[in-house]
A = this chain, B = another copy of it.
Amino acid sequence: MHTDLVAALDIGGTKIAGALIDGHGRILVRAQRPTPAQQDGDTVMRAVEEVLGELTAAPLWARAGAVGIGSAGPVDASAGTVSPVNVPGWRDYPLVERVRAVTGGLPVELIGDGVAITAAEHWQGAARGHDNALCMVVSTGVGGGLVLGGRLHPGPTGNAGHIGHISVDLDGDPCPCGARGCVERIASGPNIARRALADGWRPGPDGDASAAAVAAAARAGDPVAVASFERAARALAAGIAATATLVEIDIAVIGGGVGKAGDVLFAPLRRALGDYATLSFVRHLTVAPARMGTDAGLVGAAAAVLVGRERAAAAGV
């Protein structure tokens, strides 16, 4: 039997998605459950088992040769455990071992969700053809992942590219992570909205005080809304420029809800990059919106497995 499919899991604080995915990144079977994020660890695991149960019940399951997991972080790929910030019931939770037990001992690959998104954008999205790329999700949080020298760089524990929690303002506001002035503390959707409200912006009659509403106000010319996006853009630019200066990337891909704000974000971001990416070897850096949709996490988890296999095959392993 040819095992040409990968079972993929995308585990977040809101939903647990699963799929059987072929070598072209097509989703052939899918399953999903809400994440019982505030419940105990075993209850969360039961939701994962229900998703996997639907997949293993599918006739195509016989063609699944491996499982790829992209999980909200931090993860520990070397230990096979996950400790998602928004799922308190899971701390150093042995997810790889549990998934292996449910799937009949298939090999299981674990990466962080930012790394999974990056694998997807590099395989089929905006980072395709780029050997050195940073891919980001700017949303409720800010996450990311790296492609270096043509390969995904998950790092030893699968968390590399965690750009949301690098400090670009060492005296800045405290971040829930414990540091100060992190990119996420300035540029995430909730922080864009919080800053606009604090500076006097008021939501419209519908009461929508989200970053998307601030983006709409910015597009209509509201100066406070514009300023809040400009501040977020500066923090993103400083973080992206730092990444390029440290590891040499030539493109930064930005997805997530805030990434969908369009020119309200990208115009000041490109200007600010000119201010922070100043050395000769980073000046050509470009930014682009993400191209993969909501399935990026699933497709990326599959990509991490498929690319790993190809590399092993090429090396004769």
Q: Which residues of A contact B (CB under 8 A)?
A: 74, 76, 83, 131-132, 146, 148-149, 153, 155-157, 159-163, 165-171, 177-180, 234-235, 238, 241-243, 245-248, 275-281
CB distance from A284 to the nearest CB of B (A): 10
Contact assessment for B278 and A160 in the assembled complex, using a CB-CB cutoff below 8 Å? no
Chain B contacts of A280 at CB under 8 A? 74, 76, 83
Contact of A161 among B180, B246, B279 (CB under 8 A): B246
Chain B contacts of A179 at CB under 8 A? 241, 275-278
CA distance A235 to B279 in the complex (A): 19
Contact assessment for A245 and B178 in the assembled complex, using a CB-CB cutoff below 8 Å? no
Contact assessment for B275 and A166 in the assembled complex, using a CB-CB cutoff below 8 Å? no
CB distance from A127 to the nearest CB of B (A): 15
Stoichiometry, copies per complex: 2
Contact assessment for A281 and B76 in the assembled complex, using a CB-CB cutoff below 8 Å? yes
CB distance from A174 to the nearest CB of B (A): 10
Contact assessment for A248 and B156 in the assembled complex, using a CB-CB cutoff below 8 Å? yes
In the complex, the chain B residue whose C-beta lies closest to that of A272 is B170
User: With A132-B156, A275-B178 given, is the CB distance from A166 to B241 under 8 Å?
Assistant: yes
In the complex, the chain B residue whose C-beta lies closest to that of A161 is B246
Contact of A153 among B155, B247, B279 (CB under 8 A): B247
Contact assessment for A146 and B247 in the assembled complex, using a CB-CB cutoff below 8 Å? yes
CB distance from A111 to the nearest CB of B (A): 12
User: With A156-B131, A166-B241 given, is the CB distance from A146 to B246 under 8 Å?
Assistant: yes
In the complex, the chain B residue whose C-beta lies closest to that of A250 is B156
Between A159, A241, A279, the greatest number of chain B beta carbons within 10 A of the residue's beta carbon is seen for: A279
**9 new A-B pairs (CB below 8 Å) besides A167-B238, A179-B276, A246-B246?**
A131-B156, A160-B246, A160-B247, A162-B246, A163-B246, A168-B168, A169-B170, A169-B171, A179-B275
